[in-house]
Amino acid sequence: MGNTEKKHILLITTGGTIASVLGGEGLEPRRSDVMERELNQLRTYYRITVQDLMCLDSSNIRPEEWVIIARAIFEARGTCDGIVVSHGTDTMAYTASMATFMLENIDLPVVFTGSQLPLADFLSDGPGNLRTAFAMAASGAPGVFLAFDRKIMLGCRAVKVRAAGFSAFESINSRYVGNVTATGLALDRDALPKLTGPARFRPQASRQVFLLKLTPGLDPSIFDTLVDQGYRGIVIEAFGLGGMHFLQQYPGRGLAGAIERGVSVVVCSQCLYDSSNLNVYQVGKKLLDMGVIQGGDMTSEAALTKLMWAIGQGMSGEQIRALFRRSLAGEITL
């Protein structure tokens, strides 16, 4: 490959295990020359620019950092052919989902990746993950993706399913966008997101959204508490197809009261696979009658970030309800 043919890829680093070294209290992300050594090999194939944006364990990445990351991506449009974001795996699915919404119709490939073993480790999965991510970033396919263990998925469909295994992410209720095969990077063109308009950076997102995992007999007063604390959105991981107990006698206002007080409530399933559907059981229908929004087959990460984003955009309850009936970038099956 001659130099002029090389695709220009921007690597934005944010920390994570991939950039970690052993410190006094365990693995901690640190700037070091290990990434640079790895990139020197990749420079045979790509022209690479590096932007060291932050150096955090992804447990410490908050909505503020989401905005910084999304802004860096948006500002780099037009300067490169594709972007790789190295990121800790623990909250990568949240960042990739939120980036999908903040970067509406992003018109170049943006690929999140990381590793389970630090790059500094001889047996690290980092080199392979970086290579897959760079290949995807050079593919020309626009969208926000996550590349891991030779698989590429939509950022808004990815979930971390293994704490230690190398196949750490799965694409939930959605086909892989691509994978690495004996013939190289194979993309499933039908699974790629479709652009519907110009790229826009819309970073406003509310923090007042709570993700609640339902447990048998959960005290409904939790909803009163959440509303009193100022939460404006609640995502419930309900049972199975989307059921929730209703037999409990309770003097407070509970879930119905939260909805009456203007809180948007999205109901998903705590099952990872298949879609919730509140129309099947009485316990689901009662929720619909109260006015909850169906989360369908969205991941909890996507439902949470979409609701944070919708409220941050200043949408009314009805606009939010309508938004959840639309797929912005493949996050829900309609």
Catalogue the active-site residues: 17, 89-90, 160, 281
16 in contact with ligand ASP (CB under 6 A): yes
User: Which C-beta is closer to ligand ASP: that of 166 or that of 201?
Assistant: 166
The answer to the question of residue 284 lying near ligand ASP (CB under 6 A) is no
> Given candidates 7, 11, 34, 57, which one binds ligand ASP under the rule CB under 6 A?
57
Of 58, 65, 110, nearest in space to 88 by CA: 58
Kindly indicate which of the ranges 31-39, 52-60, 287-295, 326-334 contains the residues binding ligand ASP, using the contact rule CB under 6 A. Answer: 52-60
Nearer to ligand ASP, 166 or 250 (CB): 166
Tell me which residue has tokens 């509970």: 254
- Can you tell me the distance from the alpha carbon of 219 to that of 221, in angstroms, rounded to the nearest whole number? 5
**Distance from C-alpha of 276 to C-alpha of 272, rounded to nearest angstrom:** 10
> Which residues 6+ apart lie within 8 Å of 327 measured at CB?
333, 334
Q: How far is the CB of 57 from ligand ASP (least distance, A)?
A: 4
Enter the DSSP assignment of 142: -
| Distance between CA atoms of residues 241 and 282, nearest Å | 11
Interface with ligand ASP includes 294 (CB under 6 A)? no
Alpha-carbon radius of gyration of the chain: 21
* Count of residues touching ligand ASP (by CB under 6 A): 10
CA distance linking residue 259 with residue 310, whole number of Å: 16
245 CB burial (10 A radius; 0-12, 13-18, 19+): middle
> Residues near 75 by Cβ (< 8 Å), separated by ≥ 6?
none
Closest-approach residue to ligand ASP (CB): 88
Residue from 82, 114, 155, 312 touching ligand ASP (CB under 6 A): that is 114
Q: Assess 116 for contact with ligand ASP (CB under 6 A).
A: yes
Contacting ligand ASP within 191-230 (CB under 6 A): none
**Which residue number, 86 or 269, has a Cβ lying nearer to ligand ASP?**
86
* 197: number of Cβ within 10 Å: 7
Rounded to 10°, the helix 300-312/92-102 angle is 40
- Letters for 176-195 (x = contact with ligand ASP by CB under 6 A, - = none) are --------------------
Which lies closer to ligand ASP via its Cβ, residue 88 or residue 178? 88
Quick one: which of 9, 10, 12, 17 contacts ligand ASP (CB under 6 A)? 17
Residue 128 CB, nearest approach to ligand ASP (Å): 14
Helices in the chain by DSSP H: which ranges?
34-42, 63-76, 92-102, 126-137, 221-228, 254-260, 282-290, 300-312, 317-323
Round to whole Å and give the CA distance between 221 and 185.
Answer: 51
Q: Closest separation between CB of residue 29 and ligand ASP, Å?
A: 7
Taking CB under 6 A as the binding criterion, the range among 84-92, 205-213, 295-303, 323-331 that sits at the site for ligand ASP is 84-92
Q: Check: CB of residue 61 under 8 Å from CB of residue 53.
A: no
In whole angstroms, give the CA distance from residue 106 to residue 77: 9
Q: Which of residues 34, 70, 88, 172 is near ligand ASP by CB under 6 A?
A: 88
> Applying CB under 6 A, does 125 fall inside the site for ligand ASP?
no
Please tell me whether residue 58 binds ligand ASP under the rule CB under 6 A. yes
Residue type, 332: I
- Shortest distance, position 120 Cβ to ligand ASP, whole Å: 13
Does residue 301 touch ligand ASP according to CB under 6 A? Answer: no
Binding residues (CB under 6 A) for ligand ASP: these are 16-17, 57-59, 88-90, 114, 116
